[in-house]
Chain A
Amino acid sequence: MSDAYLQINNLKTHFPVEKGILFRKVTGTVKAVDGVSLRLAKGEVLGLVGESGCGKSTLGRTVLQLIKPTEGTVVLGDRTLTDLDGKELRSARADFQMIFQDPYASLNPRMTVYSMLAEAIQAHCKLPKTDLAGEVGALMEKVGLAARFMRKYPHEFSGGQRQRIAIARALAVEPKLIIADEPVSALDVSIQAQILNLLSELTREMELTMIFISHDLSVVKHISDRIAVMYLGRIVEIGPATEVFEHPQHPYTKALVSAVPMPDPNSESTRKRILLPGDPPSPLNPPSGCTFHPRCPHAEERCQTAWPSFESLKNDTHVAACIHLADVNSEGSNLSKASSESEQYKFTPELTLMNHRGKQILMLGILGWVCCSYFTAIPAWIMGKEDLKIMEEGRMNQDGKDMTKIGMILGMVSSIVSTVAIVFLVLKEIL
C-alpha cells in the first residue's frame, strides 16, 4: 500500500536495564517493541490489543516520538517523524495527539478547562484573545460538554466528563493522527459506551486516523476497522476487525478471543475456552524463536528456533505470524480441545535465579587480610556457605561460584592466620 498515511517500518524500542550505584552497567535489554511494521490509511482506526506488558503502550508512545525508537522509522504523511528534532518536532506535534488512560491523572488539577484548552489552541495557532473563548466553547460542544462549564476545574467533573475534556484537548490542535491509550478502561460500562460513541463519531467527522490501544477485545472490535494483536513486543496477527474476532488464526489470538467473557449465559455455557498455561513471559528474557511457544498448545521443535514470518490467509489483509497456520486450522478443533482439557494446569514456571553475592564475599575475604578483622572474615565464610547451598539447589546464578569460593577461603585463612598470630603473640608475652 503506497497510499498509507502512517507508515511504521520495523520499529524497535529497547530499554537498557542498568545495575550498580556508581558505575552503572547495562545488564540486559527489555525489548518492549521489537520490529513492528504497520501501514494505516487516512481515516482508518486500528485497534491494538494485547496483555499488559506486551508493549502496546510503548509502541503508541514511540510512534508519537515521546520515546525515541532504537531502530526503525515512522512516516506520517510526507514527514519522517523519527528524523525530526527539537523545534521541528514541536511544530509537527500539532498533527498527532494522544489521549491517556486515566483522566484523573492526565489533567492538571490547577488549571480550568478554559485555560487547558486555550493553551493547546494557542500553542499551534495564534488567535486573538477575544476569539479564544468562542473557540474553546465550540470545542467543548463538539465533545458533548456545555460551554458554560469552561471556568470549572477538573475535580468538579466526573470521570466520563474528564475523559471528554482530555479528548477535547487532543482535538484542539486539529490533529490528523490520534493515539488513544486505553481511553475507556478506567470508566464504568454505561459511561464507556458514551465515550466510544463520541470517539467513533469524531473520527468519522474529522477524518481522523486513530490507533486505539486497549486490552479489551470487545471494545476494540466495536470501534476499529482493523485489529492488530501484540504479544511480547511483536504483532502476531493483523486483519479486519470482525475477521480477527470471528475467525482468529494465530493460536494466541484464538486463546485471547475465547477468554473474553461474553455477557450471554447460553453461549457462555457451550463455548470451549482455550486456557493458556502460565503467565506471559518476561520481556527481559524472552523465549527463543516464536516467543509464544512456551504457552502454545501447538508448539513443536521448529517453533523454538526461528521467529515465523507473516503468512497471509485468504486475502492479503488478514495475516498472522505462525509457522503452522494451515495445520492449526485444519485440525484446530481437536487440538484445542485436547489442550483445554489436559494441559489446563500444566505449567512450566520460569524460575527467576537469585543474583549471586560473589563480589561482596570476595571483598569481605580480602578485607579480612587487610585489616586482620574477624568481623569481615567470618561473615564471608558464613555468607559463602549459604550461597553455595542455594546454588546447589539451582536457585542462584552459578556465575559467582568461583568468586564466592575464593572469598570464603580468603576469609577463613585470614581468620586462622590472625588467630595463630594472636596466640603466638600472647604465648610470647607469657613466656
Chain B
Amino acid sequence: MPLLDVNDLTTYFHTRNGVVRAVDGVSFQLEKGETLGIVGESGSGKSVTCMSMLGLIPQPPGRIENGSAHFDGTDLLNCSQKELQSIRGRRIAMIFQDPMTSLNPYLRIEDQLIEPLLIHGLADKASAKIQALDMLDAVGIQDAASRIRGYPHEFSGGMRQRVMIAMALITKPDVLIADEPSTALDVTVQAQILELIKKEQQELGTAVILITHDLGVVSGFCDRINVMYGGKIVESGSTSDIFYDPQHPYNRALQNSIPALQAKGKELYTIPGMPPDMSKPNAGCSFVPRCEHATDLCTSESPKLKNVGQAHTTACLRVQSENLKP
C-alpha cells in the first residue's frame, strides 16, 4: 500500500472572473522513501496540488471540490482540523520556494527550529534545543552553536534555505514536499541545496515530492516524474521513461525547447501559443490549441491517463490509439 494515495483531487478557485480550475482530477501515489518530481509551467497547478493536500488553500476563494488523499489510513481532505494538524509539520513537512520570506524575521533561528517539536509534543524544551543544534549541524551550517542564536537576516539565501530544510526535517517526517526549493538561489548554491536534500533523504528514509519547473533539476534527483499541464497530469513515468521515451506531445515539445540539449546555432523548437487560461475550460484536451497532432476527436473528448508501458501513463488520445509514433 502506498504511503500517500491521492485520488481524483480537484481544486477550483471561485473568483469574480469565473471558476479557475487550478487542479482538475489529479491522481498519484507515493511510496515510502521514493522521490517524485512534479514538473510543469507556472499556473499548471503543481503547487496547488500539494497545498490542497495539506489544507493550505485559502478558502474561499479556493475549494476542494472532489477527491481524496489517503496518507497512512487517514484521508487528508476529509479529516478534522485536529487530525490534519497532527500530521502537518510532523509527518508531512514542506519547504517553500522563497527562503527570504518563509522565516519569521522577529524570531531567533533556535525558536523557529524547536517550534515543530514543541507543538507536536515530541520533546521538551531542553532536549528540543539539543536536537535543533544537531539538525543545524547536519544541514551544514558551521559554527551552529552560535549561529542558532541569530536572526534570519543574519543568514544568506542559501543558509536560510538550509535552515528551512532543518526545520522541515527536525520532526523526521515521512514525506517532505519541496516546492521549488532552489529556484530563488544561484546555480552553485542550488547544487549545494539539492545535494543536501538528497543526503538527508537517504539518512532519514523520507519520501520527497519535488515541485519544479526545471526539467534539469528533476532529471538527476527523482525516481518518478509527473508532468502537469493545465491542472492535469498529462504524463507520468519513471525518470528515464519521461526523458528517453516521452509520449505526450507536450512533454516532447518541452524537451525540445530546452536550450541546454540543443546544438548551438540551431533554432530552438518552440511550442506555439500560450499556456491555457484555466478559467475557460474546453471540453477536450487542454493542450489542443498548441498541439501539432491535434484532431477533431481531441477537441471533444477529454483524455484519461492510460498505460503506454510499464508504470508509464499518458493522457493523449492519439498516443493511446497508437497512430502517433514519437
**Binary interface encoding of chain A residues 161-204 relative to chain B, with 1 for a CB under 8 A from any of its CBs, else 0:** 10000000000000000000000000011111110110011000
**A241–B268 touching, CB < 8 Å:** no
**B140–A345 touching, CB < 8 Å:** yes
Name, among A242, A275, A280, A345, the residue most crowded by chain B CB atoms within 10 Å (CB to CB): A345
* A26 smallest CB distance to B (angstroms): 24
Judge if A138 is at the interface, Cβ distance under 8 Å.
Answer: no
Chain A binder among B15-23, B45-53, B93-101, B253-261? B253-261
CA distance A131 to B289 in the complex (A): 35
**B219–A264 touching, CB < 8 Å:** yes
Q: Which residues of B contact A262 (CB under 8 A)?
A: 216, 219-220, 260-261
CA distance A17 to B267 in the complex (A): 45
**Binary interface encoding of chain A residues 216-247 relative to chain B, with 1 for a CB under 8 A from any of its CBs, else 0:** 11110111000000000000000001100000
**A261–B213 touching, CB < 8 Å:** no
Chain B binder among A103-111, A265-273, A317-325? A265-273
**B270–A51 touching, CB < 8 Å:** no
Q: Select which of A259, A279, A395 is within 8 A of B191 by beta carbon.
A: A259
**B262–A264 touching, CB < 8 Å:** no
* A314 smallest CB distance to B (angstroms): 19
Total B residues in contact with A, Cβ cutoff 8 Å: 50
**B216–A188 touching, CB < 8 Å:** no
* A269 smallest CB distance to B (angstroms): 6
**A261–B217 touching, CB < 8 Å:** yes
* B199 smallest CB distance to A (angstroms): 9
Q: Select which of A51, A190, A241, A261 is within 8 A of B253 by beta carbon.
A: A190
**A261–B219 touching, CB < 8 Å:** yes
Please judge, given known A-B contacts A191-B274, A193-B268, A197-B268, whether A279 and B159 are in contact too, CB under 8 Å. yes
**B269–A256 touching, CB < 8 Å:** no
**Binary interface encoding of chain B residues 170-204 relative to chain A, with 1 for a CB under 8 A from any of its CBs, else 0:** 00000000000000001111111011000000000
Q: Select which of A194, A223, A264 is within 8 A of B243 by beta carbon.
A: A264
**A344–B195 touching, CB < 8 Å:** yes
Q: Select which of B143, B159, B240, B258 is within 8 A of A218 by beta carbon.
A: B258
CA distance A32 to B164 in the complex (A): 30
Please judge, given known A-B contacts A160-B274, A197-B268, A222-B268, whether A189 and B216 are in contact too, CB under 8 Å. no
Q: Select which of A193, A265, A348 is within 8 A of B257 by beta carbon.
A: A193
**A188–B219 touching, CB < 8 Å:** no
Judge if A70 is at the interface, Cβ distance under 8 Å.
Answer: no
* B96 smallest CB distance to A (angstroms): 19
Q: Which residues of A contact B74 (CB under 8 A)?
A: none
Please judge, given known A-B contacts A193-B259, A193-B270, whether A263 and B215 are in contact too, CB under 8 Å. yes
**A259–B259 touching, CB < 8 Å:** no
Judge if A215 is at the interface, Cβ distance under 8 Å.
Answer: yes
Which residue of chain B is the closest to A194 with respect to CB atoms? B270
Which residue of chain B is the closest to A241 with respect to CB atoms? B264
**Binary interface encoding of chain B residues 208-246 relative to chain A, with 1 for a CB under 8 A from any of its CBs, else 0:** 000001111101100000000000000000011001100
**B261–A279 touching, CB < 8 Å:** no
Q: Which residues of A contact B275 (CB under 8 A)?
A: 158, 188, 190
Q: Which residues of A contact B217 (CB under 8 A)?
A: 261
**B142–A349 touching, CB < 8 Å:** yes
Judge if A375 is at the interface, Cβ distance under 8 Å.
Answer: no
Judge if A149 is at the interface, Cβ distance under 8 Å.
Answer: no
Judge if A352 is at the interface, Cβ distance under 8 Å.
Answer: yes
**B239–A280 touching, CB < 8 Å:** no
Judge if A276 is at the interface, Cβ distance under 8 Å.
Answer: yes
* B19 smallest CB distance to A (angstroms): 21
Q: Which residues of B contact A280 (CB under 8 A)?
A: 186
Judge if B42 is at the interface, Cβ distance under 8 Å.
Answer: yes
**B257–A192 touching, CB < 8 Å:** yes
**A255–B188 touching, CB < 8 Å:** yes
**B258–A189 touching, CB < 8 Å:** yes
Q: Which residues of B contact A217 (CB under 8 A)?
A: 187
Judge if B307 is at the interface, Cβ distance under 8 Å.
Answer: no
Q: Select which of A190, A242, A279 is within 8 A of B270 by beta carbon.
A: A190
Judge if A52 is at the interface, Cβ distance under 8 Å.
Answer: yes
Which residue of chain B is the closest to A222 with respect to CB atoms? B259
CA distance A12 to B6 in the complex (A): 56
* A271 smallest CB distance to B (angstroms): 8
Q: Select which of B41, B156, B216 is within 8 A of A190 by beta carbon.
A: B41
Which residue of chain B is the closest to A395 with respect to CB atoms? B146
Please judge, given known A-B contacts A256-B188, A259-B188, whether A197 and B267 are in contact too, CB under 8 Å. yes
Q: Which residues of A contact B146 (CB under 8 A)?
A: 393, 395
Judge if A371 is at the interface, Cβ distance under 8 Å.
Answer: no
Q: Which residues of A contact B219 (CB under 8 A)?
A: 261-265, 268
Judge if A421 is at the interface, Cβ distance under 8 Å.
Answer: no
Please judge, given known A-B contacts A188-B275, A193-B271, A347-B140, whether A256 and B259 are in contact too, CB under 8 Å. no
Q: Select which of A188, A222, A256, A347 is within 8 A of B262 by beta carbon.
A: A222
Judge if A260 is at the interface, Cβ distance under 8 Å.
Answer: yes
Q: List 29 A-B contacts (CB under 8 A).
A: A51-B186, A160-B274, A188-B42, A189-B258, A190-B41, A191-B274, A194-B271, A197-B267, A241-B264, A259-B187, A260-B216, A261-B190, A261-B219, A262-B216, A262-B220, A262-B261, A263-B258, A264-B219, A264-B243, A265-B220, A271-B220, A275-B188, A275-B195, A276-B188, A276-B192, A280-B186, A344-B195, A348-B142, A349-B147
The 4 A-B residue pairs whose C-beta atoms are closest, nearest first, are A261-B216, A268-B220, A218-B260, A193-B257
User: Besides the contacts A51-B187, A261-B216, A347-B140, what 11 more A-B pairs have beta carbons closer than 8 Å?
Assistant: A190-B41, A193-B257, A197-B270, A222-B260, A222-B262, A223-B259, A256-B187, A273-B195, A276-B188, A344-B195, A349-B142
